């Protein structure tokens, strides 16, 4: 459904641009002021000191929604016969608890709640992908145009936070920070260092071992860095690709009745398939986080 | 695709959400689940115990029933024995009583006969005396003598 005067390429680009709030750079007419970027170039020029309003808005709204609903149930949770909501929540909690118990061997009361948060939050965030791609951006455009007096072409709005690498990297970074923290705490600085330097190559000969240390460090350090990177990129890549396909399908609605109906069928098929993907991605993110935390809690030398 | 402050914002948001979940959501839910698990386990154990007790009670009841039946049979046999005894006793009593009454009646009859005989004897004596008197009086008059004898004879 490309709007009037918009080419397909513009339509796609518009859909892939976040609503960015930041400081206008030097050389801009509003240089030094804070405001919403009017186009992709401005958003890029704002550099690091900018924030994606849409990503933050939806991730916080969905997170709060999750916490509010679960808190409401948790507050009146009883060991008696559970009502529907409690049953549903318990089902998820037991599922997450079972996964944590199966994969996490350490003792840390924080891992299971974190896994629950990741699973539900990521699922809800991914779920936004199933809402037809133009609905929420159109509403945002109307609000932006009529309430805030913005140029409708400058109202960018991406509703799926997990298609924004900032969101997935942000989560993965938090997980990574916890990994480092617990590695230090459980294994101790020396234990952590030896884990990074004495594997996978080791020798009884001291001099050979000394030679191995830098090689081991490079290998292990890359492996360590790869964890948060793969964790976030997996989710980001999958959701970005999924959203892209929805956008491409949405383009078909501008191509006449036959193409439009075909697009409708395609969208439905892809959405049904996508239900599986968003759940799977949420599950993978949760499971990998649990596994990484488990690795951080392992003190043994079993590699 | 720009990496910017959103990254930090997301990290902070994520940390806050995890903390909230850790502090306020996870514990009550897991506690409720654990408590329910315990209640169910207790309930199942109690049910098993109840079933066992019921079985025992049924056994005990059957035992008592059997015992009661035995006792009842004993009591009935006893009662029947006693009844025959009583009947026999009554028969014996009745017989002796009848004999006693018959003996009494016999004795009375004999007594009565004796008394009548005595009475008769007295009367006969008196009649004889009266007759003798009359005979003595009428020795003068023979005709009258005959008449008196006839009279005497009649009175005998």
For residues A255-259, average pLDDT: 86
Q: Copy the structure tokens of residue A285.
A: 């993110």
Q: Which residues of A are catalytic?
A: 230, 234, 238
Q: Which A residues in the span 79-98 are in contact with B, Cβ-Cβ below 8 Å?
A: 79-80, 82, 86, 89-90, 93-94, 97
Q: What is the pLDDT of residue A2?
A: 42
For residues A236-256, average pLDDT: 90
Inspect the interface and report whether the beta carbons of A167 and B18 lie closer than 8 Å. no
Q: What is the pLDDT of residue A1?
A: 42
Least confident stretch, A9-13, A256-260, B141-145: B141-145
Q: What is the pLDDT of residue A73?
A: 92
Q: What is the pLDDT of residue A43?
A: 83
State the nearest Cα–Cα gap between B45 and chain A, in angstroms.
Answer: 17
Distance CA B134, CA A16 (A): 183
Does residue B120 register a pLDDT over 60?
yes
> What pTM value is reported for the model?
0.76
User: Binning pLDDT at 50, 70 and 90, where does residue A6 land?
Assistant: confident
Contacts of A59 in chain B (CB under 8 A): 10, 13
Please check whether residue A285 touches B, CB under 8 A.
no
Distance CA A251, CA A7 (A): 10
Inspect the interface and report whether the beta carbons of B5 and A70 lie closer than 8 Å. no
Nearest to A11 by CA among A206, A141, A204: A141
User: Binning pLDDT at 50, 70 and 90, where does residue A16 land?
Assistant: confident
pLDDT in tens, A160-215: 999 999 999 999 999 999 999 999 998 888 888 888 888 788 777 888 888 888 88
For residues A27-50, average pLDDT: 80
Inspect the interface and report whether the beta carbons of A174 and B1 lie closer than 8 Å. no
User: Binning pLDDT at 50, 70 and 90, where does residue B110 land?
Assistant: very high
Does residue A261 register a pLDDT over 80?
yes
Contact A112, A96 (CB under 8 A): yes
HSE on the CB side for A190, CA within 13 Å? 0
Q: What is the pLDDT of residue A301?
A: 54
- Three-class secondary structure of residue A34 per DSSP: strand
State the nearest Cα–Cα gap between A17 and chain B, in angstroms.
Answer: 8
Least confident stretch, A32-41, A114-123, A220-229, B4-13: A32-41
Q: What is the pLDDT of residue A303?
A: 46
User: Binning pLDDT at 50, 70 and 90, where does residue B141 land?
Assistant: low
Distances in Å between the alpha carbon of A122 and those of A62, A92, A114, A283, A290?
9, 14, 12, 9, 15
Kindly state the percentage of chain A with pLDDT values over 70.
97
User: Binning pLDDT at 50, 70 and 90, where does residue B56 land?
Assistant: very high
User: Binning pLDDT at 50, 70 and 90, where does residue B101 land?
Assistant: very high
Inspect the interface and report whether the beta carbons of B28 and A77 lie closer than 8 Å. yes
Inspect the interface and report whether the beta carbons of A171 and B11 lie closer than 8 Å. yes
In this prediction the ipTM stands at 0.87
Contacts of A174 in chain B (CB under 8 A): 11, 14-15, 18
Does residue A128 register a pLDDT over 50?
yes
Inspect the interface and report whether the beta carbons of A49 and B4 lie closer than 8 Å. yes
Residue of B nearest to A54 (CA): B6
Does residue B128 register a pLDDT over 60?
yes
Contacts of B3 in chain A (CB under 8 A): 48, 165-166, 169
Runs of H (alpha helix) within chain A:
8-15, 40-45, 53-75, 84-103, 111-127, 135-146, 165-182, 188-197, 206-251, 257-297
Does residue B12 register a pLDDT over 60?
yes
Please check whether residue A77 touches B, CB under 8 A.
yes
Inspect the interface and report whether the beta carbons of A52 and B6 lie closer than 8 Å. yes
- Residue among A44, A46, A79 whose CB faces B36 most closely: A79
Contact A294, A106 (CB under 8 A): yes
- Three-class secondary structure of residue B13 per DSSP: helix
């Amino acid at each position: 459904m490309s709007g009037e005067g918009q080419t397909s390429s513009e339509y796609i680009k518009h859909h892939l641009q976040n609503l960015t709030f930041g400081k206008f750079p030097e050389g801009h007419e509003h240089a030094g002021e804070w405001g919403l970027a009017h186009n992709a170039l401005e958003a890029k020029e704002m550099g690091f000191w900018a924030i994606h309003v849409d990503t933050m808005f939806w991730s916080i709204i969905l997170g709060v929604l999750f916490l509010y609903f679960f808190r409401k149930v948790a507050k009146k949770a009883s060991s008696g016969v559970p009502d529907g909501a409690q049953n549903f929540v318990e089902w998820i909690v037991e599922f997450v608890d079972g996964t944590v118990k199966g994969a996490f061997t350490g003792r840390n009361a924080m891992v299971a709640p974190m896994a629950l948060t990741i699973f539900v939050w990521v699922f809800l965030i991914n779920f936004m992908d199933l809402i037809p791609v133009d609905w929420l951006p159109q509403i945002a455009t109307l609000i932006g145009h009529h309430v805030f007096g913005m140029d409708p072409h400058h109202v960018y709005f991406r509703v799926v936070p997990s298609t924004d690498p900032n969101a997935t990297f942000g989560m993965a970074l938090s997980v990574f920070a916890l990994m480092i923290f617990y590695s230090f705490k459980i294994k101790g600085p020396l234990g952590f260092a030896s884990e990074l330097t004495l594997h996978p190559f080791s020798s009884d000969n001291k001099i050979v071992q000394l030679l191995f240390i830098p090689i081991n460090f490079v290998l292990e350090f890359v492996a360590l860095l790869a964890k948060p990177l793969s964790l976030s990129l997996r989710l980001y890549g999958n959701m970005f690709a999924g959203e892209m396909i929805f956008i491409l399908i949405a383009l078909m609605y501008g191509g006449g009745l036959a193409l439009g109906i075909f697009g409708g069928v395609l969208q439905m098929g892809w959405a049904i398939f996508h239900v599986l993907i968003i759940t799977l991605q949420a599950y993978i993110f949760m499971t990998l986080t649990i596994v990484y935390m488990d690795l951080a809690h392992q003190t043994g030398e079993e590699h | 695709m720009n990496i910017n402050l959103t990254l930090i914002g997301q990290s902070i948001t994520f940390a806050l959400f995890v903390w909230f979940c850790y502090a306020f959501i996870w514990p009550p839910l897991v506690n409720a689940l654990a408590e329910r698990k315990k209640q169910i386990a207790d309930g199942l154990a109690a049910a098993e115990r109840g079933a066992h007790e019921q079985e025992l009670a049924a056994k005990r009841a059957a035992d008592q029933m059997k015992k009661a039946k035995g006792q009842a049979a004993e009591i009935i046999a006893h009662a029947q024995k006693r009844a025959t005894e009583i009947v026999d006793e009554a028969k014996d009593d009745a017989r002796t009583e009848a004999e006693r009454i018959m003996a009494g009646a016999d004795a009375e009859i004999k007594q009565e006969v004796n008394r009548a005989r005595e009475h008769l004897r007295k009367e006969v004596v008196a009649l004889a005396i009266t007759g003798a008197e009359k005979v003595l009086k009428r020795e003068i008059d023979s005709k009258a003598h005959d008449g008196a004898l006839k009279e005497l004879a009649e009175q005998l």
